[in-house]
Structures are given as C-alpha cells and as structure tokens.
C-alpha cells in the first residue's frame, strides 16, 4: 500500500498523471454515439472519431488520476465519464449540477481537489477519483466582474498545487479602464487556495497579479495551461487573443513560469501586435512587433516595444484560440480555435499544432521564431472555415471547438465543441 503510493507519487511528479493511468485502445467507433454532426477536414497522418455526443456546450476537459474524464458543460455542470476496456465511454454521471458552471475546470496532480468557476466565483471541492464523488465545497475567489467575456480559465500550478491561476477578460474590445489592475479585468491573478478566507478572496483586491493580458475577442477567453514534464521546470503558457487595427487582429502565445512571473504586461489595451507586416508598409514592424493604434508624441510603437512583453508567437487574427494542451512528450502544443464572428471571410473553426522544443535551460518554447507567420499548422478543421457562420457565440453551421486535452490513456487529443445544437467530444489520433 505504502509502496504503491510512493510509486504513484513519483510517476505523477515525472509526467503528470500519465504514467499511472491504464492505457486504452482508440476505438474505431463507439456504440450509441451518433456520427459527427459537422463535416471536417483532417491533416494526413491523423484519424478522428467521435467519442461523445448529446452533451451540453462542452468547454473544458480534465483527467483524474484514474484516467476518468471530467467535462465542464456550460450551464449544465460537470460530468464524469469512465471508460471501458474498448476505449469507449462506459458510464456518465453528473458530478456537479448547476447552471452557474460555465467554463473553468482544473484538478490538482494528486487528483484530490477540483476547482471550477462560474462567471463570478471560483469554488473547490474534495474529490475522490475512485468513487467519483465530491465533498466539502469551498468558495476560493468571489467578486469577479461580469461583462461580455464571461468565461474564466482556471489552472492549478502543478509544481505548487495550492496555487491557482484565474483569468478575467476585458469587458469590451478596447477596455481602457482595465489598465488599472484594481478593475480585475484583462488580467490573470494567482491565489493561494490554502489561505482562502471562509467567504473566499475578493478577485479585484486580493491575490497576486501573474500577468495582465492582451484581451479579448467576444466570447473567447484568455487561455493558459500548466504542464509538468520530466526533468524540467514547469512552464505556463497562455494563449490570448486581442483586437487591434482592423486588418491586424492577432492572437499570441506567451511562455513563463507561474511561480516567478509577476506583474508582466502584455500591452493591452494600448499596444497590439502585428500579424501581417504587409499591412504596415513603410515601417520596420514584423509579425509579433507591437504597435499603437493611434500613436501620439508621447506614445508610439517604440514605447510599446520597450515596455510590453512581446508575444512568443502570434496567430491569424480573429482565430479565437480557447484551449491548449501538450502531447505526452511536449513535442507539440495543440490549440483549439473557436472561430470568428465579425470577420469576412470567417476564420478559426480548427485545431492547430504548434511544434515545441526544449531549450538547454529546461524551458519549452515554440520551434518557430517570434516573427513567424508559419509557426503552426491545421490538423483538424471545418472543410471551409470561411463559410462558417456564427449567429451567436455557440451557434454555427460548423463545430465550435473548445476543450483540448491530451489523453493520459494514450488515445490522442480529445477536443470539445460547444455548438449549442450538440455538445460533442472528438478524439484525434496521430498514426
Ligand atoms: C463497462 O462496465 C461494466 C460494469 O463495470 C463492465 O461489466 C463492462 O465490462 C464494461 N464494458 C467494457 C466495454 O469495458
Ligand atoms: C497618447 O497615447 C497614450 C496611449 O494611448 C495615452 O495614454 C495618452 O493620453 C496620449 N497622450 C495624448 C497627449 O493624447
Ligand atoms: C531559457 O533560455 C532562453 C533562451 O536563451 C531564454 O530566453 C529564457 O529566458 C531562459 N529561461 C529561463 C527560465 O532561464
């Protein structure tokens, strides 16, 4: 018993929960699961199957230490799914029912504490992965602003699981007031859950500022994720999307250690980054360079490039990246692009793969240089993203991709869709 616990703990330290989990085959199909609701295009070398349908809007997927899948479903709650030996879902129960749960979900590496959020509040529960039961609900953070960006990404810092990162977006495309951290918007804060007062921390006035974000397109959220990798320090990456100059909206990846990065400023709402330099003739701006929408004598592009942390990689404007995950050896990051609503032609509606590399000092970074427009490629997408409609945040004639979670049981990349017609989960497997 003791020996098992120690082995499990070491395995968990070495590679998240992966080593401890029973490996499963990727099923060709699962009985009772209807066909893909929408058509898709797949990069060669990959296969796709649908493993779950008939869900409410799927937003976040996490795994417990037994390899069970926990899914946050917007306005429904959190479900837990076990798998049979055939790799298909074998049981589904609601862990937490409640229409306040809307997006964020995270679990500690030991599998024993669960965090989930509503628009205003972050709660924790004690969780038992063997019985799949929760107990001891606590309010950890309260008072998050309400506004047009309602989802809050939640991420436990695996290296120090009492620390929880929690994000609130802007309340408009140009939320000038959010320059003041006290507004608690366009920001990621870090809270020590073990010290939460009984009624929870006040988001706006307590906790530490991990970073202030370039924020956000309608309906999307700043996304950051924590990874633990063998023999490495922990890296937190976040993927954010920001609005700028009409022809130059961009999104970015930034990389940093949540234990050390504090008060980093990524430019919002003053400095934005260039996607296509061809839109900036007569300048020496490159992809990823910062610029000011309306420069003046005291604030110009150079002011930004001296003050704001530059993006490590930028994405096509309006992609609306919403979740990211790494494969088991951290060779690639996968990002879901929820898709645009006010761009013609539309863009997004896909999963992209970003090759990563491990530097000599143990940090993981994208392979592509910061000024690359080709640092990622599509692996799964709507056949013609330009014709995808977005009549509302979750309505479309295409899937609206959300959750991304690499399977500890070896089946590949699990991807969710929050299209209100049907919440679906797909499995994408590299051959
Ligand atoms: C599903 O679970 C039941 C009950 O635990 C078990 O008898 C059955 O073999 C499982 N199915 C598969 C495909 O593993
Ligand atoms: C110059 O631009 C900055 C950044 O947008 C702004 O804060 C400042 O008020 C502007 N100054 C003047 C004189 O317009
Ligand atoms: C690791 O090395 C890279 C490249 O030299 C550097 O940019 C980065 O700041 C270093 N990170 C740490 C945590 O030392």
The domains found in the chain, sorted by start residue, are 7-430 (2.120.10.30)
C-beta neighbour count of 26 within 10 angstroms: 18
Rounded to the nearest angstrom, the distance between the alpha carbon of 84 and the centre of ligand 1 is 5
Rounded to the nearest angstrom, the distance between the alpha carbon of 271 and the centre of ligand 2 is 12
| CB-count burial class (<10 Å; 0-12, 13-18, 19+) for 210 | buried
Weakest mean pLDDT among 112-126, 291-305, 311-325, 407-421: 311-325
Rounded to the nearest angstrom, the distance between the alpha carbon of 179 and the centre of ligand 2 is 13
Q: Is the pLDDT of residue 302 over 60?
A: yes
Q: Which is more confident, 342 or 296?
A: 296
User: Is 0.75 surpassed by the pTM of this model?
Assistant: yes
Alpha-carbon distances, residue 107 vs 50, 112, 114, 214 (angstroms):
25, 7, 5, 26
Q: Is the pLDDT of residue 15 over 80?
A: no
High-pLDDT (> 70) share of the chain, %: 84
Q: In what order do the strands lie in the sheet with 46-55?
A: 46-55, 423-430, 413-417, 401-406
pLDDT in tens, 202-215: 999 988 776 554 33
Does ligand 1 come within 6 angstroms of the Cβ of 369?
A: no
Which amino acid residue places its CA nearest to atom 4 of ligand 1?
90
């608690």: which residue's tokens?
A: 184
Q: Is the pLDDT of residue 220 over 80?
A: no
Picking from 236, 210, 219, the residue whose alpha carbon sits closest to that of residue 173 is 219
pLDDT in tens, 96-146: 998 899 999 999 999 999 999 999 999 999 999 999 999 999 999 999 988
Residues forming a β-bridge with 79: 71, 94
Rounded to the nearest angstrom, the distance between the alpha carbon of 318 and the centre of ligand 2 is 26
Q: Which is more confident, 377 or 224?
A: 377
Does ligand 2 come within 6 angstroms of the Cβ of 270?
A: yes
Weakest mean pLDDT among 64-68, 84-88, 319-323, 380-384: 319-323
Does ligand 3 come within 6 angstroms of the Cβ of 359?
A: yes
Q: Which three-class secondary structure state does DSSP give residue 177?
A: helix
For range 281-298, the mean pLDDT: 85
Q: Is the pLDDT of residue 261 over 90?
A: no
Indicate the average pLDDT of the chain: 82
Structure confidence at residue 252 (pLDDT): 60
Which amino acid residue places its CA nearest to atom 12 of ligand 2?
296
Rounded to the nearest angstrom, the distance between the alpha carbon of 83 and the centre of ligand 1 is 8
> Which ligand 1 atom sits closest to the C-alpha of 83?
14
Q: Is the pLDDT of residue 8 over 50?
A: no
What tokens does 198 get?
């009984």
First to last CA, the chain: 38
Rounded Cα gap, residues 350 and 182, in angstroms: 35
**3 contacts: CB under 8 Å, gap ≥ 6:** none
Reported as a pLDDT band with limits 50, 70 and 90, residue 185 is confident
H-helix or E-strand spanning residue 167: strand 163-168
């Amino acid at each position: 018993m003791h020996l098992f616990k120690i082995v499990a703990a070491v395995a968990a330290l070495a590679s998240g929960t992966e080593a401890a989990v029973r490996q499963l085959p990727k099923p060709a199909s699962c009985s009772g699961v209807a066909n893909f609701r929408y058509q898709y295009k797949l990069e060669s070398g990959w296969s796709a199957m649908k493993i779950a349908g008939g869900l409410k809007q799927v937003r976040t997927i996490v795994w417990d230490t037994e390899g069970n899948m926990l899914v946050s479903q917007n306005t429904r709650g959190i479900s837990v799914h076990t798998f049979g030996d055939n790799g298909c879902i074998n049981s589904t129960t609601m862990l937490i029912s409640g229409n306040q749960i809307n997006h964020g979900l995270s679990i500690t590496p030991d599998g024993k504490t669960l965090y989930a959020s509503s628009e205003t509040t972050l709660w924790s529960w004690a969780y038992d992965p063997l019985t799949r039961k929760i107990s001891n609900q606590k309010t950890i953070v309260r008072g998050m602003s309400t506004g047009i960006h309602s989802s809050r990404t939640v991420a436990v810092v695996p290296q120090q699981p009492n620390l929880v990162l929690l994000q609130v977006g802007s309340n408009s495309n140009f939320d000038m007031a959010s320059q003041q951290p006290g507004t608690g918007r366009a920001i990621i804060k870090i809270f020590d859950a073990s010290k939460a007062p009984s009624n929870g921390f006040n988001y706006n006035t307590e906790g530490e500022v991990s970073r202030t974000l370039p924020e956000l397109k309608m309906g999307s959220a700043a996304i950051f994720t924590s990874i633990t990798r063998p023999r490495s320090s922990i890296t937190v990456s976040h993927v954010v999307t920001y609005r700028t100059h009409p022809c130059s909206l961009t999104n970015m990846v930034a990389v940093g250690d949540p234990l050390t990065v504090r008060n980093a400023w990524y430019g919002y709402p003053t400095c934005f980054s260039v996607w296509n330099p061809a839109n900036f003739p007569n300048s020496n701006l490159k992809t990823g360079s910062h610029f000011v929408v309306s420069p003046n004598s005291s604030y110009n592009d150079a002011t930004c490039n001296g003050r704001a942390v530059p993006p490590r990689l930028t994405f096509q404007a309006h992609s609306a990246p919403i979740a990211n995950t790494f494969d088991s050896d951290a060779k690639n990051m996968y990002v879901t692009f929820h898709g645009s609503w006010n761009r013609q032609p539309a863009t997004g509606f896909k999963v992209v793969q970003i090759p990563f590399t491990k530097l000599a000092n143990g940090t993981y970074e994208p392979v592509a240089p910061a000024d690359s427009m080709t640092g990622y490629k599509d692996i799964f997408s709507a056949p013609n993203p330009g014709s995808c409609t977005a009549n509302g945040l979750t309505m479309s004639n295409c899937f609206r991709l959300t959750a991304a979670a690499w399977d500890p049981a070896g089946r590949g990349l699990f991807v969710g869709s929050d299209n209100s017609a049907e919440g679906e989960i797909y499995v994408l497997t590299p051959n």
